[in-house]
Amino acid sequence: MAEVHDSFCRFCHASCAIKVTVEDGRAVSVIGAKDNPVYHGYTCAKGRALPEQHANPSRILHTMKRDAEGNHNPVPVEQAMDEIAEKLSRIVAEHGPRSVALYTGTFSFPYPAGAPMAGAWLQSLGSPMLFTSATIDQPGKMIAPALHGTWGGGPYHFDDADVWMLLGANPTISKSIGIPCMNPGKRLHDAVKRGLQLIVIDPRESEAARDAAVFLQPKPGEDPTILAGMIRLILAEGLTDESFVDAHTQGLTELRSAVEPFTLDYVERRAGVPGEDVARAARLFASLSNGGVNVGTGPNMAPRGNLTEYLGLVLNTLTGHWRREGEALPNPGVLMAPSPSKAQAFDPYPAWGFGEHLRVRGLTNTVAGMPTAGLADEILMPGEGQVKALFSLGGNPMAAWPDQDKTLAAMNELELNVSLDIKMSATAKLADYVIAPKLSLEVPGMTLPTESLTPYAMGYPEPYAMYSPAIVDPPEGSDVIEEWEFFYGLAQRMNLPLTLAASYEWGPDSEAPEVTELDMSCPPTNDELFEALTKGARVPLSEVKKYSEGAIFPYEALVEPADADATGRLDFADRTMMGELAEVALEPIDRDSYYAFRLVSRRLPDVHNSAGRDIPKLVRKWSYNPAFMNPEDLTDHGLEKGDMIEITSSHSSILGIVEPEEGIRRGVISMPHAFGDAPGSPDDKDVRKIGSNTGRLSSVERNCDRYSGIPLMSAIPVNITAAEERIPGQGV
């Protein structure tokens, strides 16, 4: 019999509220929950494909173990855990705990207990080698506030802002930075209707750009130049919020001289955007008091992402775009502990140089985490501390890490490679063990992870939360476990005690999170773990559970007055950032002119990084990643839709299939990442079927950020040539 259950989607971080029709323990259809006060019935194609994802023939339902010939065969998960624990104990005894690394990727996010349990296990093992995708995503987002300092009242929120600026972010599609991720299309529509002035800076006319009052379409990689030009104009025309600047900042004089070279004329010549449009954007941004700026993945992956993020904060501070004393907080937290919100500045704090040091390129731990772009070299470089074992949790290094050839070499070097994945991904195919996990609707969930995105202008502006029990059974005959159960099971076998911290605390003034010691003789239930993770929550989990459709838990909270002894200052002139800005000013305008194109990152609506590519319904339009280009560029190169090109960077080359797109700036190739397969794998050259991997174009040794290690992953200088059709499996 069919029953309809309330739940929420976990195909991306947006956690859309859904109604799932379940028949005989299996999901058969998904629709948006139209009465939900936050999502208003929104779902995307991925969410509606949850039934297909759960029943997908390519989903692995048993742990797979690689044999000597490289073939994978099913083994019972308990046996795999015994073998892994034993092998790991040997590796740790011989090489020390640092030889074990954990990488948590995109799909560690939707499962609240997975990454915390894996982290607790690694910590108990004594290894500092915890890596996440954050340092190959938007590391500047954490680094810039450390260098600038933070405002205790927090940022304004998109929903009630008068002016908003998006640099290289396309939240309408990505459900990411800028517009809160729950039904961003409706939020943008409502905002524009009530008069929001949107400024978008993007080399491609993104979906978000269509609603922009000012749209700048620059040459990729010139965001520091544009922002410096806007700051210069705001200072020159006296458009700053003087009282805010006087009371809460330092370094204005140094900033003024650092931006001096960035005249409108210079910005126009260098970034290829009309100077008057830059001025219009700056004046608009400064003229309205409730606003904000967000920087997305584009500029973070282009040169000097930290600087772009930093200058974005400088712009916010100069114009006083921070929430003030007595103003209402949109969401003081529901499942998170409320953290005090005070109208005062907090001083900068160290962004890097602490904690574990990598052995390569002078990289250290950072506020964005350990530099993932250095991990392949940590695996490859012999000597004390060499990483011998890698655990990938919901991530796909072969698809997502920059410098794919090096990643492949690293995967082949490992003594123990374990992947927790729902399919035989490019990484899983190289792993010694692939642990088959339960999927979202088969496990309890709560919206705590999405709530944790609130400080990044992505989470809930409304004090909303939802808990969902498991609503379907794992497929019959399967042997699947939850990710946390795997790490708990390893810890049990290795006699490691585990403590779990209540996670997702944030704020410069937050208290230390409460911790729970786990009973290692008897596995906890999911709900017990959720209780541990929400200790100190404003609304107890038990209360949230009463509302099966999710609910808003209202609470009036205002930004409090500053402490009497508050002395913090936001810094306009961090030395490293000013040094980088001086370097920008010294660069020749026509650098890299040998390369005619810049390849930029972008996302497709129906797949999530490398996930979803195996679900037929989601790849009806594109099973590969087209190389989107301006139609006139195609004509100039004698190319037509569907032609194959070779795209060559200073590091490597890939094949691409061209696709005209009107809104792309000339000289730009816009191409999604995480497609293709491992170099040399049988499918690798079947570009028309599986696309190609843009990560292969990046070197992790050159053009990298000195601190996060992120290399050029957007605004990559490339050339193109027409390419011959390749025969699958025959190599280039």
Ligand X SMILES: Nc1nc2c(c(=O)[nH]1)N[C@H]1C(S)=C(S)[C@@H](COP(=O)(O)OP(=O)(O)OC[C@H]3O[C@@H](n4cnc5c(=O)[nH]c(N)nc54)[C@H](O)[C@@H]3O)O[C@H]1N2
Positions that interact with ligand SF4 (CB under 6 A): 9, 11-12, 14-16, 43-44, 46-47, 175
Contact present, 675 and 180 (Cβ < 8 Å): no
The verdict on 202 binding ligand X (CB under 6 A) reads: yes
The verdict on 173 binding ligand X (CB under 6 A) reads: yes
In whole angstroms, the minimum distance from the beta carbon of 342 to ligand X comes to 30
In whole angstroms, the minimum distance from the beta carbon of 14 to ligand SF4 comes to 4
The verdict on 137 binding Mo ion (CB under 5 A) reads: yes
Which of the ranges 135-143, 640-648, 680-688, 697-705 carries the binding residues for Mo ion, by CB under 5 A? Answer: 135-143
CA pair distance 409, 413, nearest whole angstrom: 6
Of 144 and 284, the one with the shorter C-beta distance to Mo ion is: 144
Number of residues in contact with ligand X, rule: CB under 6 A?
A: 66
Which of the ranges 129-137, 444-452, 495-503, 540-548 carries the binding residues for ligand X, by CB under 6 A? Answer: 129-137
Q: Which of 182, 343, 441, 715 binds ligand X (CB under 6 A)?
A: 715
Q: Name the 3-class secondary structure at 8.
A: strand
In whole angstroms, the minimum distance from the beta carbon of 106 to Mo ion comes to 6
The verdict on 176 binding ligand X (CB under 6 A) reads: yes
Which of the ranges 82-90, 455-463, 547-555, 605-613 carries the binding residues for ligand X, by CB under 6 A? Answer: 605-613
The verdict on 255 binding ligand X (CB under 6 A) reads: no
CA dihedral 102, 368, 678, 619 (to 10 degrees): 110
Q: How far is CA 374 from CA 39, 139, 365, 402, 491, in A?
A: 39, 14, 11, 10, 27
Of 360 and 400, the one with the shorter C-beta distance to ligand X is: 400
In whole angstroms, the minimum distance from the beta carbon of 337 to ligand X comes to 26
Q: Which two tokens stand for residue 284?
A: 């608009």
Q: Which of 313, 400, 453, 502 binds ligand X (CB under 6 A)?
A: 400
Of 7 and 708, the one with the shorter C-beta distance to ligand SF4 is: 7
CA pair distance 149, 528, nearest whole angstrom: 37
Residue nearest to ligand SF4 (CB): 47
Instruction: Check the CA dihedral 248-252-258-259 and report its sign.
Output: positive
Q: Which of 145, 184, 220, 709 binds ligand X (CB under 6 A)?
A: 220
186 Cβ neighbours under 8 A, 6+ residues apart = 40, 42
CA pair distance 313, 572, nearest whole angstrom: 9
Of 44 and 329, the one with the shorter C-beta distance to ligand SF4 is: 44
In whole angstroms, the minimum distance from the beta carbon of 561 to ligand SF4 comes to 38
Question: Site residues for ligand X, window 263-302 (CB under 6 A)?
Answer: 296-299, 301-302
In whole angstroms, the minimum distance from the beta carbon of 167 to Mo ion comes to 16
Residue nearest to Mo ion (CB): 137
The verdict on 581 binding ligand X (CB under 6 A) reads: no
Name the residue among 512, 204, 173 with its Cα closest to residue 337: 512
In whole angstroms, the minimum distance from the beta carbon of 182 to ligand SF4 comes to 8
Contact present, 132 and 372 (Cβ < 8 Å): yes
CA pair distance 142, 607, nearest whole angstrom: 26
In whole angstroms, the minimum distance from the beta carbon of 11 to ligand SF4 comes to 4
Q: Which of 63, 127, 150, 206 binds ligand X (CB under 6 A)?
A: 206
16 Cβ neighbours under 8 A, 6+ residues apart = 8, 9, 32, 39, 42, 43, 44, 47, 182, 183
The verdict on 678 binding ligand X (CB under 6 A) reads: no
In whole angstroms, the minimum distance from the beta carbon of 605 to ligand SF4 comes to 9
The verdict on 608 binding ligand X (CB under 6 A) reads: yes
Residue carrying structure tokens 């810049």: 598
Q: Which of 673, 692, 712, 718 binds ligand X (CB under 6 A)?
A: 673
List, in sequence order, every beta strand (DSSP E) within 168-247.
197-201, 214-216
Of 106 and 516, the one with the shorter C-beta distance to ligand X is: 106
Q: Which of 439, 491, 704, 712 binds ligand X (CB under 6 A)?
A: 439
Q: What is the residue-wise DSSP string for 21-62?
A: EEETTEEEEEEE-TT-TTTTT---HHHHTHHHHHT-TTB--S
The verdict on 168 binding Mo ion (CB under 5 A) reads: no
The verdict on 606 binding Mo ion (CB under 5 A) reads: no
In whole angstroms, the minimum distance from the beta carbon of 650 to ligand SF4 comes to 36
CA pair distance 128, 147, nearest whole angstrom: 24
Of 39 and 262, the one with the shorter C-beta distance to ligand SF4 is: 39
The verdict on 423 binding ligand X (CB under 6 A) reads: yes
Instruction: Write phi, then psi, for 656 (nearest 5 degrees).
Output: -145, 155
Contact present, 676 and 398 (Cβ < 8 Å): no
Q: What is the residue-wise DSSP string for 593-618?
A: TT--EEEE----TT-BTTBTTT-GGG
Q: What is the residue-wise DSSP string for 291-326?
A: EEEEE-HHHHHSTTHHHHHHHHHHHHHHTT-BPPTT
Of 48 and 696, the one with the shorter C-beta distance to ligand SF4 is: 48
Percent composition of the chain: helix, strand, coil (DSSP 3-state, to 5): 30, 20, 50
As beta bridge partners, residue 420 has 393, 435
Which of the ranges 250-258, 345-353, 394-402, 640-648 carries the binding residues for ligand X, by CB under 6 A? Answer: 394-402
Alpha helix positions (H), 352-424: 375-380, 397-400, 404-413
519 Cβ neighbours under 8 A, 6+ residues apart = none
Q: Which of 119, 656, 695, 717 binds ligand X (CB under 6 A)?
A: 695
Site track 91-130 with Mo ion (rule: CB under 5 A), x = hit: ----------------------------------------
CA pair distance 406, 246, nearest whole angstrom: 50
Residues that bind Mo ion (CB under 5 A): 137
Residues that bind ligand X (CB under 6 A): 12, 105-107, 133, 136-137, 167-171, 173-177, 201-204, 206, 220-221, 223, 296-299, 301-302, 394-397, 399-400, 402, 420-423, 425, 437, 439-440, 483, 600-605, 607-611, 670, 673-674, 694-695, 713-715
